[in-house]
Structures are given as C-alpha cells and as structure tokens.
C-alpha cells in the first residue's frame, strides 16, 4: 500500500491497541509510509501476527499498567534505536450507563484503558521523543470527547478527559518539537461496536482505514493541541473550540489563552 505525501522512512513508531481495528489500520499505514512499527496489544497472538506482516515488533501487555507502558516505550526505542511517533490508540467502551448501579470494576477498567493509558503513554514517551529531537504523539479520542453521547456517560467522560489532556499538553510540549494531537472519529466499523452493530443499520460508518488516513493527515500537518474530527464523507480537520468568556472588562491574565473578552 502506497501512502502519497506521507514519508516516514527512517522513523520509528509505537501503536497501542495496534492489533485490530483502527490500531491495525494505522500500523499498516505507518509501515507503508516507511516507518518501523511496534504493535502493543493485550492480544499477543494478533500483535505478533501483525508485527510479522509489517516487519515490526510485537509488545503484548496491559496498557492500563504504567510499568507496561514504560516498558513498551523502552523496548521499542532500544529495538529501533529511536522513537519518533507514538499512537495511543487502545480503548474500550463503557458497557453501562454510569448513572446508577455503578459497576466499580468496569468503571476502573474503562478509566484505566481510556485515560490512564494515555497519561502513562505520554509521560513515558516524552523522554524518548526528546532524545529523538522531537516527534508526534496522537491519542485516539472520539466525537464523544467533543460532545456528550447519551447512553454512554462513562465513555464520554473518558474521551473528554483525553481531549482536555491533549489540548493542555500540546502547547506545553510544542517548544521541544513534540506535537501532541487527538483524533476524534465518529462511529466506526471496528470491534468496539461489534456487539451493537445492528443498531447502526442504514447509518454511515467510518472504516478503520478512514481513521488511519486522518491520523496520517495529522502527522503531516497537525498543529500542537489540535483535536481532529473524522466523519463519513467529510475531510477530517481540527475542531474549532469556542473560548470561555473571561471576567467582564478585565485584561487577559498572562499565558491564559482560554478566555474571551
């Protein structure tokens, strides 16, 4: 598969949740553009199969564990001699309303995978990207990180957390040449919705390749802290956030960009 415009020869990447769905499509897209890719996934057999397919490295493990994420970054950097791109893609759905009769174990699990793994992954990756002279971190969020999704409050909570984290981390790390972004796809035909796919009959769904293409666009021209929406039939692009009104008549405090006057 040729990837026009995206040249990653000489680059090394790590993709979490990389053995299926959006992650697998992204692994193939990065490898086709010339990158060597580490496939991190709890499904060891699938991770090894895809790594063998693209000539990469399989890293099985639980991404919600901080030691696992640190080890994944260290092993990938040691194996490839560098690390330039980190795609923090692993994610799960809520499986409950999150409004009553809370299943605490399931709640801890979704927060661990969808939020903790992004924080652990970014903090582990930053030193490696510094050693490489800069690079890219892309976290997979969701449209549920930009708007509320009735029926899955916990998933919405976790994806809003990812969006907020990226928007804050992006400007902070940009001066070091580390570009942090989020990709926020709508409903995609991936294993994440396999159990409820019948509910989407007649509804346009993204493919995993659509989202991988958006990730490629982010790597080409994404700006620090941008969160890119992806919807069927639309060109992906950065979501335009509206600023929060500041105190009436007051001057803007230094280094605070989120206020309007």
Which tens digit of pLDDT belongs to each residue from 135-186? 999 999 999 999 998 888 999 999 999 999 999 999 999 999 999 999 999 8
DSSP string, 125-151: HHHHHHHTT-EEEEEE--GGGTS--TT
Phi-psi region of 188 (alpha: psi -120 to 50; beta: other; left: phi over 0): beta
pLDDT of amino acid 33:
98
Query: How many residues make up the chain in this entry?
Result: 261
> What residues does each domain of the chain span?
12-260
DSSP H helices, 112-248, are 117-131, 153-174, 208-221
Q: Decide: helix, strand or coil at residue 139.
A: strand
CA-to-CA distance for 127 and 203, rounded, in angstroms? 43
pLDDT of amino acid 96:
86
Instruction: Provide the percentage of residues in the chain whose pLDDT is more than 70.
Output: 88
| Catalytic residue, candidates 107, 155, 165, 239 | 155
HSE at residue 144, side-chain half, CA atoms within 13 A, is 20
CATH T-level topology, domain 12-260: Rossmann fold (3.40.50)
Report residue 11 as tokens: 């680059």
First to last CA, the chain: 49
48 to 18, 21, 74, 158: CA distances (angstroms)? 10, 15, 18, 29
Q: Which of 56-65, 69-78, 190-199 has the lowest mean pLDDT?
A: 190-199
Average pLDDT over residues 21-25: 96
CA-to-CA distance for 71 and 241, rounded, in angstroms? 35
Q: Decide: helix, strand or coil at residue 86.
A: strand
Separation of CA 38 from chain center: 15
Let me know if 155 is a catalytic residue: yes
């Amino acid at each position: 598969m040729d990837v026009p415009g995206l040249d990653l020869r000489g680059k090394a990447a790590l993709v979490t949740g990389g053995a299926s769905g959006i992650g697998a499509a992204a692994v193939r897209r990065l490898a086709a553009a010339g990158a060597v890719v580490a496939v991190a996934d709890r499904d060891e057999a699938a991770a090894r199969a895809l790594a063998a397919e693209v000539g990469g490295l399989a890293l099985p493990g639980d991404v919600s564990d901080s030691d696992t994420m640190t080890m994944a970054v260290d092993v990938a950097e040691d194996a490839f001699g560098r690390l330039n791109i980190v795609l923090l893609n692993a994610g799960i759905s809520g499986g409950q309303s999150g409004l009553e009769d809370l299943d605490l174990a399931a709640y801890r699990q979704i927060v661990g995978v969808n939020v903790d793994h992004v924080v652990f992954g970014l903090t582990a990756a930053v030193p490696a990207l510094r050693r490489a002279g800069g690079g890219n971190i892309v976290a997979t969020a969701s449209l549920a990180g930009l708007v509320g999704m009735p029926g899955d409050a916990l998933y919405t909570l976790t994806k809003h957390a990812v969006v907020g984290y990226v928007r804050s981390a992006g400007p902070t790390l940009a001066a070091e040449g580390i570009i942090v972004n989020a990709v926020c796809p709508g409903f995609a035909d991936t294993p994440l919705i396999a159990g409820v796919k019948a509910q989407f009959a007649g509804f346009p769904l993204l493919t995993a390749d659509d989202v991988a293409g958006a990730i490629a666009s982010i790597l080409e021209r994404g700006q620090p802290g941008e969160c890119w929406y992806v919807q069927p039939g639309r060109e992906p692009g950065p979501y335009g956030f509206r600023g929060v009104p500041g105190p009436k008549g007051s001057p803007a405090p230094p280094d605070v960009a989120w206020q309007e006057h």
